[in-house]
A and B are shown apart, each in its own frame.
Chain A
């Protein structure tokens, strides 16, 4: 009996020892649903029609469901490769032709054998229809605005109709996007270099749709006679608002508003099927809930802010990737001519009770403010050191971004000198008072203004900056109505070309010049240079123009470029194949899979 007990005890001890030595007790947890990838996000989906997506976060869906004419290699936005088109048009291969009057034709030979998710074959007619419909319907995605401006020479198709009448507008649309054999030809009135970049936005806004399917859904039938009924669509009356069908690696299954979107692998994808069978984009109310789900293994991926990093770093089974560069540059814009009825400029006179509406039209004031901003403290405080100080308006990572461009840095002596010069020397003696506003809940906006306030008020007791916050909606409204002396707004160019940020920041039609009140300066000094940058294919000339514009941005000092953001993501350690794009929180599901390495 005793012998038997001893034998059992020996077996038990042996099992325990062997288990411990081989790590049986420490095996990695089983991967739940290895073919289903679940991403948690706080960004709900605004629409499923890629042509109307305004938020960068939503474009993740169109990117995975649609394909565009051109593409980028994974993670390399500076290089353009063929997509649905078989070749990248260049002047050398004859697909880009520039006539003497500047008329530029860009031809895209269309790949054969691409299948839509409903089994239909993609044709050049589908490609032409996609763009014509987008323009006619008044697509709101930023890339479409640029396309409309440079293809139809109007801010929108409606504007063109108002200008020249529907018949002529439609004739222009029909002429400028046409099918020639197996090729789709775009005819631009002037060369426009970023055009190829727009076509390579990875299927976000420029995803190619199936004409017959669109018509089945109730979209424009593709005829001139019916065009007017399908102009100026809103989400409410857009037949493609809640459905998708493209040629991408994943097909749309369902969208439960504010809850989740489900995609499934498309097995006939022309580049081969994806590894994942199913993708669920789960919408969560706030990040803490998403982090709990990630830690439990109920979701595979979340994007986290710097504040949430301590909650995920070191968590078992969670991999965190920090400091991923993104295409998001923030700036504090000086408004040169504030609305006279603004409630943020005190009594509207130079002195301790307020500022005149044209306070920032004096370059000395702008420069003094620049020298009062402390980038180091800001980036350390808000991003724990993980953000970039921009070189200027061209984002770091873009071609021609100039690291040697002169930059401002914290220098209170210089600031004092400029303040003493400002307003013919009156500012220093009279003082000033203004209210700087940030959008409620935006920590980075609030902190940036606090730093500015602290340093400026320390220079002279007669200088006062009050801080106030407005809800986001009201903030946008106040910016648009030129009520705020300082506006904190970002640039998110989706196409990696210096033309885009320079156009947005400095061109008279770019938006900021109008809001900032430097239209005259823009028309005289910047527009000719920017227009040339947009139309010149010579890389050296483009660099020269871009450098000059960056220098002018420094010299004329319209804004404090205070940071270029970095992002952080957290995922389960079984997630493989992740690579970062322009927005690290937007995933390309195609290369992803779940397995332990």
Chain B
């Protein structure tokens, strides 16, 4: 298995290189003036007196593709992903700043989606065609059909506009002052974790209060998908001969389900898990915008709107890396779940 992992990891730089060249060449289809637009802030506040030609030359946008790509690549090898005009900071700094916020959201969302989906899916399958199963089926249809931004707005109106419980943003103003202006150490960039490491329970609770609604809005659709997959996979497994044999041996139903049926039913769920990680990254874009939650989703939206190609390239590479690593982890999980699968 180690040889397999090493081989996959060695392929990583090649995949990254192809990915970056592809995105870079796509960006180069735009004219230098189109690419200059990222350096010009606001659509209606733009003046004709802006020195467009000088700016194009200043930022080297008129140089040939291969020179611009070579210069970018040279910087990457020096650990510099370039400057992001939309984030107003180096791309690496922007990723370091916004990615932990999204990871925090993904982790909380993941806690709802994966254990929740597996548990509820198991429950629905083992209570097949009963009221709870029917309710779960209806709920999943609603969950899958309801767009995240609608559900998000719905949550905001009820829990913030009416009840005032869960505000948008990442922190309250007083907590922002503590995090940004005091000696609060930002070890991981994930405020929940950092608050605990700094011994600030008040900040932890404030951050959690801000995270609950986006995490809920984020998870509903994916939880439904996970639940449906778990339910159908387990239902199929429960009709397999070896499950009947296990029951015939007189094993307890709980043991049959957890030890025999669910383990095998998890294989397609794990495959889906990989896809869901990618979907979670996509979902962050919408949820973060609705809840004014500054994470990588909002960063990439702003970057894409302004054709901030350094940022687009940097984030694409990061997402590519995450997807590749996720797939690697899934392959390894297959081997763990099903001993018949051998990697090599």
A-B interaction: yes
One digit per residue, 1 when the CB lies within 8 angstroms of any chain B CB and 0 when it does not, for chain A 257-292 equals 111101000000000000000001000111011001
A328 near B44: Cβ-Cβ < 8 Å: yes
Residues of B close to A298: CB separation below 8 A = 167, 173
User: Which residues of chain B from 288 to 302 have any CB-CB distance to chain A below 8 Å in the complex?
Assistant: 288-292, 294, 298-299, 302
Residues of A close to B38: CB separation below 8 A = 473
8 smallest beta-carbon distances between A and B, as pairs: A477-B34, A511-B48, A473-B37, A55-B41, A477-B33, A480-B33, A473-B307, A236-B83
B36 near A476: Cβ-Cβ < 8 Å: yes
User: Which residues of chain B from 24 to 41 have any CB-CB distance to chain A below 8 Å in the complex?
Assistant: 30-38, 40-41
B168 near A292: Cβ-Cβ < 8 Å: yes
User: Which residues of chain A from 35 to 83 have any CB-CB distance to chain B below 8 Å in the complex?
Assistant: 36, 38, 43-47, 54-58
One digit per residue, 1 when the CB lies within 8 angstroms of any chain A CB and 0 when it does not, for chain B 285-324 equals 0001111101000110010011100000000000000000
Residues of A close to B161: CB separation below 8 A = 292, 295-296
Given contacts A146-B49, A292-B160, whether A55 and B42 have CB atoms under 8 Å apart is yes
What's the interface size class on A, roughly?
A: 35 or more
A residues apposed to B, CB below 8 Å: 33, 36, 38, 43-47, 54-58, 138, 140, 142, 145-146, 155-156, 158-159, 232, 234-236, 241-242, 253-254, 256-260, 262, 280, 284-286, 288-289, 292-293, 295-296, 298, 328, 330, 439, 442, 471-478, 480-481, 489-492, 504, 510-512, 515
Instruction: Report the minimal beta-carbon distance from B152 to chain A, rounded to whole angstroms.
Output: 10
Q: How many residues of B contact A (CB 8 A)?
A: 58
B40 near A47: Cβ-Cβ < 8 Å: no
Q: Does B64 belong to the interface (CB within 8 Å)?
A: no
A140 near B50: Cβ-Cβ < 8 Å: yes
User: Which residues of chain B from 1 to 57 have any CB-CB distance to chain A below 8 Å in the complex?
Assistant: 30-38, 40-52, 54-55
A470–B44 alpha-carbon span in the complex (Å): 15
A235 near B88: Cβ-Cβ < 8 Å: yes
- The chain A residue sitting closest to B301, CB to CB, is A285
A472 near B41: Cβ-Cβ < 8 Å: no
User: Which residues of chain B from 109 to 126 have any CB-CB distance to chain A below 8 Å in the complex?
Assistant: none
Residues of A close to B212: CB separation below 8 A = none
A274–B265 alpha-carbon span in the complex (Å): 67
Q: Does B70 belong to the interface (CB within 8 Å)?
A: no
A55 near B48: Cβ-Cβ < 8 Å: no
**Interface SS of chain A: helix, strand, loop or mixed?**
mixed
B31 near A510: Cβ-Cβ < 8 Å: no
The residue among A140, A262, A330 with the most chain B CB atoms within 10 A of its own CB is A140
A253–B182 alpha-carbon span in the complex (Å): 12
Selected contact of B35 from candidates A145, A155, A285, A473, CB within 8 Å: A473
B residues apposed to A, CB below 8 Å: 30-38, 40-52, 54-55, 58-59, 83, 85, 87-90, 94, 97, 153, 156, 160-161, 164, 167-168, 170, 173, 176, 180-181, 288-292, 294, 298-299, 302, 305-307
- The chain A residue sitting closest to B50, CB to CB, is A54
- The chain B residue sitting closest to A296, CB to CB, is B164
A235–B90 alpha-carbon span in the complex (Å): 10
The residue among B48, B58, B290 with the most chain A CB atoms within 10 A of its own CB is B48
A257 near B30: Cβ-Cβ < 8 Å: no
A512 near B54: Cβ-Cβ < 8 Å: no
Given contacts A45-B88, A258-B294, whether A280 and B305 have CB atoms under 8 Å apart is no
A262 near B44: Cβ-Cβ < 8 Å: no
Residues of A close to B55: CB separation below 8 A = 140
Residues of A close to B34: CB separation below 8 A = 473-474, 476-478
A289–B149 alpha-carbon span in the complex (Å): 12
A545–B156 alpha-carbon span in the complex (Å): 57
Residues of A close to B89: CB separation below 8 A = 257
Residues of B close to A155: CB separation below 8 A = 51, 54
Residues of A close to B51: CB separation below 8 A = 140, 145, 155-156
B88 near A296: Cβ-Cβ < 8 Å: no
Residues of A close to B44: CB separation below 8 A = 328, 330, 442, 490
A383–B54 alpha-carbon span in the complex (Å): 36
Selected contact of A57 from candidates B40, B45, B50, B302, CB within 8 Å: B45
B49 near A504: Cβ-Cβ < 8 Å: yes
Residues of B close to A55: CB separation below 8 A = 41-42, 45
